[in-house]
Amino acid sequence: MISIDPEVIKELTTKGIRVDHRAFDEYRKIKIETGIIEKAEGSARVEIGGTKVIAGVKMEIGEPFADRPDDGVLITNAEFLALAYHEFEEGPPRENSIELARVVDRGIRESKAIDLKKLCIENGKKVWMVFVDIDILDHDGNLIDAAALAAIAALLNTKFPKLDIIEEDGEKRYVIDYEQKTDPLPVTQKPIGVTAAKISGKILFDPNIAEESAVEGKISMGITDNMIASIQKSEPGGFSIEEIDHIAEIAMKKASEIRAMLG
């Protein structure tokens, strides 16, 4: 990763130039691979330019939340591997990884990407719990979009493990055979993360890591085929209503293009 002075980034942006010569609304090359982790119920590896992210899905049986007795449970975690970027450190999850997991989780949850009611096994007692684990392998900017894409690709790749419910002496025993897979996870929406950055008053999409050093503000949207399901703003700079409308219009188009890559 080449270090570039943020002031140079700003000056180039003012002139309508990006350091990698992309158009302001142009994404880097996107690559999606699925089914790459044999022991997971679903998995995916995503590359956006030099940014590489892997997501794995595991399923277990647990108890539902008291206020949602017939809904399954979704839990999203993210880990920034130390080898991915020089500022990442080993140890427990830090603020940046917790925030990334929260943003990805919100996009899935608010878009109702998974029909959680179809994860109910026994109302108020047992449901499927879906764990989405995201690992950052290489950080070259725009982690949110890469992580969100890896998460939904992994969920689309997920199948239930075989479940047998055995009754003995009036008690139920739940036996999971992880070696056998059955039905696909009930994914009903494909939310796509689209991130725009503001540099020197200009709006550009899919900022790389050099551009992220110069941003005034960033907005990430979680977008389904018919709505903006979630919005996350970061960095201190603000956006006008006109700028947000501009971002939303382009983001809807970009989300549609990226969603088509999922099949």
pLDDT recorded at residue 80: 86
Q: Would you state the pLDDT for residue 92?
A: 46
Q: Give the β-pairing of 126-138 and 51-62.
A: antiparallel
Pairing outcome for strands 73-80 and 126-138:
parallel
Let me know if 201 is exposed, middle or buried by CB neighbors in 10 A (0-12, 13-18, 19+). Answer: exposed
Which of 246, 256, 261 has its CA nearest to residue 203? 246
Q: What angle do CA 84, 145, 43 make, to 5 degrees?
A: 70
Tokens of 16: 């309508």
Q: What is d(CA 257, CA 263) in angstroms, rounded to the nearest whole number?
A: 11
In this prediction, residue 3 carries a pLDDT of 74
> How many Cβ atoms are within 10 Å of 12's Cβ, its own excluded?
18
Quickly list H helices, 133-217: 143-156, 209-212
pLDDT for the residue 88: 47
- 118 — phi, psi (to 5°)? -80, 0
Which residue is associated with the tokens 């603000």? 238
Query: DSSP letter at 233?
Result: E
Integer Cα distance of 155 and 26 in angstroms: 26
Burial class for 243, CB neighbours closer than 10 Å (0-12, 13-18, 19+): middle
The domains found in the chain, sorted by start residue, are: 6-260 (3.30.230.70)
DSSP 164-230: EEEEETTEEEEEEEEEEEEEEP-B----EEEEEEEETTEEEES--HHHHTT-SEEEEEEE-SS-EEE
DSSP H helical ranges for 134-240 = 143-156, 209-212
Give dist(CA 95, CA 109) in Å, integer: 21
CA dist 190 and 107 (Å) reads 10
Q: Are 109 and 54 in contact, with CB atoms under 8 Å apart?
A: no
Report how far residue 69's alpha carbon sits from residue 79's, in angstroms, rounded to the nearest whole number. 30
Residue range 51-62, pLDDT digits in tens: 999 999 999 999
Q: What is the pLDDT of residues 190-221, one digit of tens each?
A: 999 999 999 999 999 999 999 999 999 999 99
pLDDT < 70: residue spans in the chain = 1-2, 82-94
User: Quick check: helix, strand or coil at residue 175?
Assistant: strand
